[in-house]
Structure 1
Amino acid sequence: MKPPSKTIVFDLDGTLVDSLPDIIASFQYGLARLGMPVPSEAEVRTLIGHPLEAMYAHFAPEQVPTLCALYREHYPRNFTTRSRPYPGVVDFLGNLRERGYSLAIATTKRTDMARRFVEALGLTSAVDHVQGTDGFPHKPAPDVIHRALAALGTEGLWMVGDTTHDILAGKAAGLRTYAVTWGTHEEALLATVAPDELQPNLSRLLEHLPSCR
């Protein structure tokens, strides 16, 4: 069977899954365990999309390894406490598959964690490949997108994300870009990087995607 000729690439957290509360809670947990000042949800939210090490370096550069270890202990035990796919996402992904597109996730999470998370939320069968960021440049560099597409052996068409990092990475990879405003970055910030589409949900993407079967 011939594989799909085009791939839609999605960010994970804040794009397909409303996961920010669990991420923020686990981030705050490490600082609290060490008796350090705990940043507000808003302060943490502005940094989501950066590698975990860079996020912690913003608050406690001398404790980054310990804080990352605490996060990676806490998050897998609590990452489905509040996290859920955004409304309509599962059906939307199914619609894209029916139209003949392959679907990849390209995330700043490490690949092992990303795949565990996707599986825990029942999304494994909804996508063709989950690519995390493992020891290579993170978004806004396009490396994670290139690796996802290489794993599938297909050509990328759109990058869908909720942060400026996602959009800049998509542009650098030569993809069209679709920003959703229901995640991490607000509409005004997303507009500064000029995505091809800036929308409150995913529905308009379908207007750009005729069946490729």
Structure 2
Amino acid sequence: MIFDLDGTLFQTETLLLPAYHATFDQLRAEGAYNDVTPPESVILGSLGMLLEHIWKQVMPNSVEAVHRRADELLLDYQMKGLQNGEGELYSGVPETLRQLQELGVRLFVASNGLEGYVKQVVAHKGLVSLFEGLYSAGEYKTRSKVDLVRLLLDQHGIKKAWMVGDRSSDVEAGLENGLIVIGCDYAGFRQDGELEDAHVRISRFTDLIQLIAE
């Protein structure tokens, strides 16, 4: 079973939004950005994209150097937040993952995020021992989640799997790789219609146990 991270396992906004505002405060202090901080809804609506695409949505009129500086700042503030105990998993995530592992399900993460972010969230939330592999676009330099998931499947010799996520990129990654797609309908970041092609939708993470039982 392959999981997206943000909006699936992790309540991204609980860590992201304080770091987001701190990032723009610092960009302004450095003279790299001279406008008001874009609305939180813009970055939340962009979750699931590669970071380079997120900043093009958030700061369309800024140059690439500013986008890359924003990468650095956002990651740094999020790492500090994790060290301070910020950020929450969705209800039932640790318990459900342990149950799945006990049932013999191999567990992986596939995220479009940066390597350090993905690994540190999993580490700080005590989930490292539950996953066989953590795959991120930041580490493997993939251009889409379709490619990232294909790489994961190939490296581990996996022929059948479930893809679990909350955005259209997760649905596409699952379908393009011939996987069963479970759409997570509880994060609230998605646009209308993003999960309509998922095989199943769940409204709570804990619903996965019932699906496996069926």
What are the superposed Cα offsets for residues 155-212 of structure 1, whole Å, 9 maximum, x if unpaired? 3421000111111111111111111122243484334x4211112113443344259x
Distance (whole Å) between structure 1 residues aligned to residue 45 and residue 144 of structure 2: 17
1:129–1:151 CA contact under 8 A, matched in 2 = no
TM-score (norm 2): 0.84
Q: Quick one: which amino acid aligns to residue 137 of structure 1?
A: R
Select the residue among 201, 204, 207 that pairs with 2:204. 201
Q: How far off is 1:153 after superposition?
A: 2.8
Q: Which amino acid aligns with 2:9?
A: L
1:135 counterpart letter in structure 2 = K
| Cα distance in 1 for residues equivalent to 2:135 and 2:7 | 16
**1:25 pairs with 2:18:** yes
In structure 2, the CA distance between the partners of 1:207 and 1:76, relative to structure 1 (3 Å rule), is same
Which residue identity does 2:185 align to in structure 1? T
| Aligned: 1:13 with 2:6 | yes
Counterpart in the other structure of 1:56: 55
Gaps of 5+ in 2: 29-34
2:149 aligned with 1:148, yes or no? no
Quick check: 1:130 aligned with 2:134? yes
1:74 aligns with 2:80: no
SS in 2 for 1:14: coil
1:138 CA drift (Å): 2.4
Residues 1:122 and 1:181: Cα distance change in structure 2 (over 3 Å): same
Contact 1:11/1:107 (<8 A) preserved = yes
Percent pairwise identity: 21
RMSD: 2.2
User: What is aligned with 2:32?
Assistant: none
After TM superposition, the structure 1 stretch with the greater mean CA deviation from structure 2, 101-110 or 194-203, is 194-203
Contact 1:130 1:148 in 2 (8 A): no
The answer to whether 1:90 aligns with 2:83 is: no
